[in-house]
Amino acid sequence: MRLVFLGPPGSGKGTQAKKLAEKLGIPHISLGDILRDEVHQETGIGKRIKEIMNAGRLVPDEITIALTQHRIEQADCQLGFILDGFPRSWAQATALDAMVKQLKIELNAVVYFHITEDQVVERLSGRRSCKNCGAVYHVTFNPPKVAGKCDRCGENLFQRADDEEKAIRTRFEVYEMQTKPLIEHYRKMGKLVELDAGKTITEVYEKLIKLVENG
Ligand code: ADP
Ligand code: AMP
C-alpha cells in the first residue's frame, strides 16, 4: 500500500500515519521528522534549514526531493509506505511523479485531510512532542498519562518552535499558496480521496481504515 497524506499543518496527518503504518507494517515517512533530525544532528543540511523551519516556511525543493528519493528507495519501502508532508509544492509533486515512474510503482491513493483553520490553530497550539521517540500528544485532545512526560519512553515533552502563533500563521499561508493547488493535480489523476479530519482521533482513524480497505 503506497499512500500520500496531504493536508494543512495540524490536520492530524502524522497522528493517523503512525497508527496506520503500524497496522499495515509499512514505514511512515514524515518529511518533517527527517528534516528535524537533520537540524538536531547539526548536519550541513540541518544548519541551512533550521531558521527556515522555525519560521514556518518551506525548505528548498532540492533538499526535500533528494531526501524523499533516498528514503523511498530503501528496502523497507518495497512493500509500501505512507508519505506524510511530501509533496508540498509543484516541483515536489512533479518529482514524486517521476520517482514513482522510475521505480515502476504506483500510488494507491492521496488522502486529503479536510479541516478548518480554527481547528488547525487549536490543535497546533496544544501539540506537544517527544524529542526522543517522536510521539505526538495534545494537551487536551490526546494528553499523556503524566503531564509533560512521554507515555512511551518517559522523556520530557516539548513544544515545537514552529508551533507558536506567528509561525502557525505563516505555515497556513504557505499551505494555501503552495500545497493546496496539488489537490486538483491528484484529483485529475484519479488518486484523491477526501477525509473529514475534523472529528476525534478514533473517528478519523475508523474512516481512514474504511477508505483504505475500499481501495
Ligand atoms: P500534522 O502531522 O498534520 O501536522 P499532527 O498529527 O501532528 O498533525 O496533529 C497536530 C496536533 O493535533 C497534535 O497535537 C495531535 O495530538 C492533535 N490531533 C491530531 N488528530 C487530532 C484529532 N482528530 N482531534 C484532536 N486533536 C488531534
Ligand atoms: P511538519 O512536521 O510536516 O509540520 O513539517 C515541519 C516543517 O518542515 C515545515 O513547516 C517545513 O518547514 C518543513 N517541511 C516538511 N516537509 C516539507 C516539504 N515537503 N517541503 C518543504 N519543507 C518541508
d(CA 49, CA 202): 34
Q: Whose CA is nearest to atom 12 of ligand 1?
A: 123
Determine which one of 2, 13, 123, 128 is catalytic. Answer: 13
- What pLDDT was estimated at residue 175? 96
- What pLDDT was estimated at residue 213? 83
Per-residue pLDDT of the chain in tens (215 residues, 90 and over written 9): 999 999 999 999 999 999 999 999 999 999 999 999 999 999 999 999 999 999 999 999 999 999 999 999 999 999 999 999 999 999 999 999 999 999 999 999 999 999 998 899 999 999 999 988 889 999 999 999 999 999 999 999 999 989 988 899 999 999 999 999 999 999 999 999 999 999 999 999 999 999 988 76
- Ligand number nearest CA of 52 is 2
With residues binned 3-state (H G I as helix, E B as strand, rest as coil), the percentages for the chain, rounded to 5, are: 50, 15, 35
d(CA 53, CA 49): 6
d(CA 215, CA 197): 19
d(CA 138, CA 210): 25
Determine which one of 18, 160, 191, 199 is catalytic. Answer: 160
Residue 13 falls in the annotated catalytic set: yes
**pTM for the complete prediction?**
0.96
Minimum-distance ligand 2 atom for the alpha carbon of 53: 12
Cα(36) to centroid(ligand 2), Å? 9
Cell of 23: 497496522
Ligand 2 pocket residue status of 10, Cβ below 6 Å: no
Determine which one of 2, 36, 127, 128 is catalytic. Answer: 127
- What pLDDT was estimated at residue 131? 84
Structural domains present in the chain: 2-214 (3.40.50.300)
Residue 126 Ramachandran class (φ > 0 left, ψ -120 to 50 alpha, else beta) = alpha
